[in-house]
Amino acid sequence: MFTSDQYELVDFGQGRKLERFGSYLIDRPCPAVARRRCRTPDRWERVDARFERQADGDGRWRPPSGLPATWMIGYGPLIFQLRPTPFGHLGIFPEQAENWDWITARLSGEVPGRRILNLFAYTGGATLAAAAAGANVTHVDSARNVVAWARQNAALSGLNNAPIRWIHEDALVFVRRQLRRGVRYDGLILDPPSYGHGPKNQAWKIDRDLGPLLDACGELLSPQASWVLLTCHTPRASLADLRQWITGTCVGGRIGCVEAQPMRLTTAAGARLPSGMRVRWTSGNLDSIGK
């Protein structure tokens, strides 16, 4: 987990969440907690910036000068550059930190140089965790500016010379090209959005496209593949859906364990904020289980 001086979930409720990133206190939308009351209303009065979403999906930061153009926070040896975006994002999803720890733990028990594919890789948290643990990582995202942002994070984290391939491409286009070339991977990371567009304006809809992508990814896994991590923030998806997508397509008849759980962030007082879902498959001789 993050140390409290780098990131803290302060409070949430009434459709908002209050977080501190470094020294900046930020108020952002959180529709999942529309019915919950805020527990520390006095702290909401001292925010540095508030993001207000508009009907078209973009929004505004108020006051506009409340946040710097960029600043940095750390997670262990990893350094992330943050910046306010028109979508209310800052360049990091703190709930993913426990997955970075899991990736590090998995790779620490394996030989260096394992080939890992990270699809929808965003600003590279999972990529950096895997590379720092000794893996050869292929980082794929459809947004050129986001790939550049991830490369900046790698440089800040001292991973400039790590074996990372930076790919600006549509996920399914890339996977199919790798299959034609006979390339295989030992581990797979996916964090697909609900909707999106590829570099050539290819439309992505998770309901329609995740199944075919995972089916292709199943063919992309090497015989020695040892794990798959799928995370999701789509509200209408369920843990059962995600588990079925993994077991029914990606890993097929491979022997292993499946763990499906919600992701959460926790305040200092112990209140837990739902923050997406994850499914982890690990190879082995155990029967598949779902939790």
Q: In what order do the strands lie in the sheet with 136-141?
A: 164-168, 136-141, 115-119, 187-190, 227-232, 272-283, 256-266
**The predicted structure's pLDDT at residue 58:** 76
Helix (H) or strand (E) holding 243: helix 239-245
pLDDT per residue as tens digits for the range 28-54: 999 989 989 999 999 999 999 999 988
**The predicted structure's pLDDT at residue 14:** 95
**The predicted structure's pLDDT at residue 289:** 34
Q: Does residue 243 contact residue 260 with C-beta atoms inside 8 Å?
A: yes
Q: Does residue 185 contact residue 251 with C-beta atoms inside 8 Å?
A: no
Our CA angle for 17, 64, 61, nearest 5°, is 30
Between 224 and 291, whose confidence is greater?
A: 224
Question: Which two three-digit tokens encode residue 150?
Answer: 């991830």
Instruction: Kindly tell me if the per-residue pLDDT of 7 is higher than 80.
Output: yes
> What is the mean pLDDT of the segment spanning 212-221?
95
User: Using the 8-state DSSP alphabet, how is residue 251 labeled?
Assistant: S
What are the CA-CA distances from residue 54 to residues 29, 48, 59, 162, 193 (Å)? 11, 20, 5, 40, 20
pLDDT per residue as tens digits for the range 254-268: 999 999 999 999 999
> What is the mean pLDDT of the segment spanning 193-204?
89
Instruction: Give the number of other Cβ atoms within 10 Å of residue 245's Cβ.
Output: 22
**Residue 57 — pLDDT band, cuts 50, 70, 90?**
low
Average pLDDT of every residue of the chain: 93
User: Using the 8-state DSSP alphabet, how is residue 78 labeled?
Assistant: E
pLDDT per residue as tens digits for the range 97-126: 999 999 999 999 889 999 999 999 999 999
**The predicted structure's pLDDT at residue 288:** 35
Question: Which two three-digit tokens encode residue 184?
Answer: 């295989």
Q: Count H helices, E strands: the chain?
A: 6, 16
Instruction: Kindly list the structural domains of the chain, giving each domain's residue range(s) and its CATH number in brackets, ordered by start.
Output: 7-82 (2.60.40.1180), 94-283 (3.40.50.150)
**The predicted structure's pLDDT at residue 240:** 92
Instruction: Kindly tell me if the per-residue pLDDT of 11 is higher than 80.
Output: yes
